[in-house]
Structure 1
Amino acid sequence: MTHDVAPLRTAAIAATLRSCQLFSGLSASDLETIAAFSILRSVAKGAYLFREGDPAEGFYVAQRGAFNVHRVSPTGKEQVIYVFRPGESFAEAALASPQGYPANARAVEPSGVVLVPKVPFLGLLGRRPDLALRMLGSMSQHLRVLVGLVEDMTLKDVETRLLNWLCKRLPRGAGAPVIELGTTKRVLAAELGTSSETLSRTFARLRDERLLTVRGKELHVADADALRARFRRLLGEE
């Protein structure tokens, strides 16, 4: 007996789109319309989804794994822009620019992604101005998030960036919370724009000062208030 897998495929893509901030204001029928022309892709660890200058096919929504989006300087140094995880969209600049992708995207672990092709998506927005307006609001929120990420990367040293990452995930109040790492240390290092070795040394320094303990993928914070105070001092606010 032959089963038609197309409805299952469309449902899987629609579920991924639904989890994305960019599509948060859309109805189920609109999501299914976009899912019908979108494409699922698997990307092996270390493989490139696209390289800077490649013709832009469309934009992407991470479904599983993680994608390191970066540029390479003239001297060959890799500068990480951000590590995108499931539910996050990236390369939306492809919609508004006739040029190729402005950066590189590489899978840092076995990953899956939804490609939303440029041509049919822009055609849909042209026919549905109401849809374009709803997505504009979501895209504005998405842009604010990305601006915040850029601001985070301007923090000079790795310890300050790590403490910023930790403080954003601390619950309100004092106590000794546990933060789920949710990824590998290598991926976190890439997100913070540093090497795994430097990140490990920074974790070790915080451990030696009894601020933090690493147990597998759990980060046990000894004193949330002390960690926040350390971050404020590094920023020069105390």
Structure 2
Amino acid sequence: MTSFEVHVQRDVLLRTLATSRLFRTLDASLLATIVPHASLHRLQQGECLWRRGTPAEHFHVVLRGVLELQRAANGPDSTLIALFGPGESPAIPATLERRSFVADAFAATASLEILRVRAAPILELVQSEVHLALATNRALLDHCALLHAKIDVLAAGAVHRRVAAFMLDLVERFGDEGLDGKTYVPLALSRAHVATYVGARVETVIRTFSQWQRDGLVATTKDGFVIRSTDELRALLAGTTRDAAHAASS
């Protein structure tokens, strides 16, 4: 692993654990017992957090940036299995079952910050701490929901509908509505990442975003995406909007 471990004070780790989605429901005394097993890691884009086949000996929580899980395909390219953003915990099933990771994990954004907690003491505490057991169960259900969302994206139909489904998934997970009525998704993803996730050619995804940019529907910034109307995206996904340009490009 090429990540940079950040050496921080105990109180910083305690605050990070207390505000993380995975551990925030635990009381202070229980969090204090977890602190010695926790660490913060920072990666730059393209750096690997773990490799397929590595024993899943830690729980992970994404604090900032996006983590991508990739698995080698039969050809020269890799398949993008999933993306995990702030608050989400990747590979929960493998960690709970003490298995090995089934995919490689890379930083998908310019920087990535990860909270990592040794699994062995957590799995021991789960046997006696109900709140911790419930927390890991919620994380497992969240992981299942992400996989179902990926299936929904791939099953959406034409490319522009798959991209619309993907954008709506990002809105659901990370979007915030601004005072101007627009929705902001603070995840800076390349067209290549989007194309791999939705199972399409990069050129087709570029044309889709270019059309949306001209229409004022979705704008791309250095910080992520700005969506004028999620209702319009839902209409595209449902096929209730006439969009010959997108249909032709798909």
**For residues 220 and 146 of structure 1, what CA distance do their matches in structure 2 show?**
21
TM-score w.r.t. length of structure 2: 0.73
The worse-fitting range, judged by mean Cα deviation, of 46-55 and 157-166 is 157-166
- The CA distance in 1 between the partners of 2:230 and 2:34, in whole Å, is 43
Deviation digits for residues 84-125 of structure 1, max 9, x if unmatched?
122211122233334321111001222221111122222222
Runs of 4+ in 1 over 6 A off after TM superposition: none
**Which residue number in structure 1 is paired with residue 205 of structure 2?**
199
Match of 1:160 in 2: 161
CA deviations 1:22-44 (Å, max 9, x no partner) are 32432233223222311222222
Percent sequence identity is 24
Q: Is the 8 A contact 1:186 1:195 kept in 2?
A: no
Superposed CA offset, 1:5-63 (max 9, x none):
98x63333333333443324322332232223112222222110001111222121112
The two structures have a TM-score, normalised by structure 1, of 0.76
What is the deviation of 1:73? 1.4
* Shift in CA distance, 53/64, structure 1 to aligned 2, threshold 3 Å: same
- Which of 193, 206, 219 aligns to 2:226? It is 219
Deviation at 1:215, TM superposition (A): 5.7
Amino acid at match of 2:57: E
Aligned counterpart, 2:3:
none
Gapped regions of structure 1 (runs ≥ 5): none
Aligned residues: 223
Q: Distance in 2 between matches of 1:110 and 1:67?
A: 10
In structure 2, the CA distance between the partners of 1:21 and 1:194, relative to structure 1 (3 Å rule), is farther
CA contact under 8 A between 1:48 and 1:106: conserved in structure 2?
Answer: yes
Query: Retained in 2: the 8 A contact 1:62–1:85?
Result: yes
**What residue is the counterpart of 1:92 in the other structure?**
92
Code of the residue aligned with 2:46 in structure 1: it is: G
**Residue in structure 1 matching 2:186, options 179, 182, 187:** 182
Q: Is the 8 A contact 1:58 1:94 kept in 2?
A: no
Query: Relative to structure 1, is the Cα distance of residues 202 and 15 closer, same or farther in structure 2, using a 3 angstrom cutoff?
Result: farther
Pairwise CA RMSD: 3.2
Report the counterpart of residue 235 of structure 2 in structure 1.
229
Name whichever of 28-37 and 13-22 sits farther off. Answer: 13-22
Determine helix, strand or coil for the equivalent of 1:123.
Answer: helix
Cα distance in 1 for partners of 2:104, 2:185 equals 25
In structure 2, distance between residues paired with 1:201 and 1:36: 49
